[in-house]
């Protein structure tokens, strides 16, 4: 059984939505962190973010696009300047630039480099997104697919994950549930396992907690 810390269930983050705002920021931050780890960050000249399905359909209202761009800058939900998130589109449009991971300045065309694909979704989950990085010759040098699975948790997919039409039913076996979890969730044994509130209260009484 997967175990959630109380600090994972209730966390500091930016609103209005954990799945449509926090999750995309976390995923974008992990993408640029991976570029830094593999030594390709300084080669990046352009990045492209594609939001699919539910993220695209409600993205502007939930600030999904702005959250993802803030994540590309290296921000995290726990400490990001919310005023900056509110104005990040205007700032990028004014400067025509993005400070990737907070250290590497690149050209950035907000209207072109952030795509809301309202006609397609990833078959695995409605909250799918794709991040791509290109070098100065427009060669693809980095690409990741992520899913925001609820509560601010994210799950990395494969760039080969199938796409379907927004109104299509996912093929059998292609979708996973939000309960499939995040790779950061601890699945080890815990000293006081419980599945109901009554069991929790009984454990507290028994162990004087």
Six token digits for residue 196: 């109901």
Q: Is residue 143 part of a domain?
A: yes
Is the pLDDT at 1 greater than 90? The verdict is no
Q: Cβ–Cβ contacts within 10 Å for residue 27, how many?
A: 26
Q: Is residue 1 part of a domain?
A: no
64-72 vs 23-37: helix axis angle to the nearest 10?
Answer: 20
**Phi/psi of residue 11, each to 5°?**
-130, 160
Q: Quote the pLDDT of residue 64.
A: 94
Query: Domain for residue 102, yes or no?
Result: yes
Judged against a pLDDT cut of 70, whether residue 51 lies above it is answered with yes
In a domain, 122, yes or no: yes
- Residues 155-175 as b or e (16 or more Cβ within 10 Å = b): bebeeeeebbeeeeebeeeee
- pLDDT category at 14 given cuts 50, 70, 90 is confident
Strands (E), 2-69: 46-52
The CA-based diameter of the chain, rounded to the nearest angstrom, is 66
pLDDT in tens, 97-144: 999 999 999 999 999 999 999 999 999 999 999 999 999 999 999 999
> What pLDDT digit, counting tens, does each position of 188-209 carry?
456 777 778 888 888 888 888 8
The answer to whether residue 176 sits within a structural domain is yes
Q: What is the bridge-based pairing of β-strands 46-52 and 114-117?
A: parallel
Q: Say which CATH number the domain at 183 has.
A: 3.30.1330.90
Half-sphere exposure of 92 (CA within 13 A, CB side): 26
Q: Is residue 78 part of a domain?
A: yes
C-alpha separations of 96 from 133, 164, 194 in Å: 17, 33, 53
- Can you name the residues that pair with 155 across neighbouring β-strands? 147
- Give residue 149's domain range: 6-206
| Helix, strand, coil abundance in the chain, percent, nearest 5 | 35, 25, 40
Q: What is the mean pLDDT of residues 8-35?
A: 84
The total number of structural domains in the chain stands at 1
Strand partners of residue 128: 147
Long-range contacts of 136-143 (CB under 8 A, 24+ apart): 136/43, 136/45, 138/45, 138/46, 141/40, 141/43, 141/44, 142/31, 142/34, 142/35, 142/38, 142/40, 142/44
For residue 141, being part of any structural domain is answered with: yes
pLDDT of 181: 44
Q: Is 162 part of any domain? A: yes
């Amino acid at each position: 059984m997967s175990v959630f810390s109380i600090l994972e269930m209730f966390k500091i983050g930016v609103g209005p939505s954990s799945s449509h705002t926090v999750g995309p920021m976390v995923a974008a931050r992990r993408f640029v962190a991976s570029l830094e780890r593999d030594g390709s960050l300084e080669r990046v000249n352009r990045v492209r973010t594609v939001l699919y399905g539910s993220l695209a359909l409600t993205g502007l209202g939930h600030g999904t696009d702005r959250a993802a761009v803030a994540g590309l800058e290296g921000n995290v939900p726990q400490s990001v300047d919310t005023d900056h998130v509110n104005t990040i589109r205007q700032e990028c449009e004014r400067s025509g630039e993005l400070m990737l991971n907070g250290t590497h300045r690149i050209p950035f065309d907000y209207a072109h480099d952030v795509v809301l694909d309202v006609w397609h979704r990833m078959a695995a989950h409605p909250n799918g997104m794709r991040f791509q990085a290109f070098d100065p010759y427009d060669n693809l040098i980095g690409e990741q697919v992520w899913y925001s699975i609820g509560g601010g948790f994210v799950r990395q997919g494969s760039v080969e994950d199938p796409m379907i039409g927004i109104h299509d039913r996912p093929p059998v076996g292609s979708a996973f549930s939000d309960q499939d979890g995040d790779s950061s969730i601890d699945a080890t044994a815990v000293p006081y396992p419980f599945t109901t509130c009554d069991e929790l209260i009984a454990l507290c009484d028994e162990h004087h907690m």
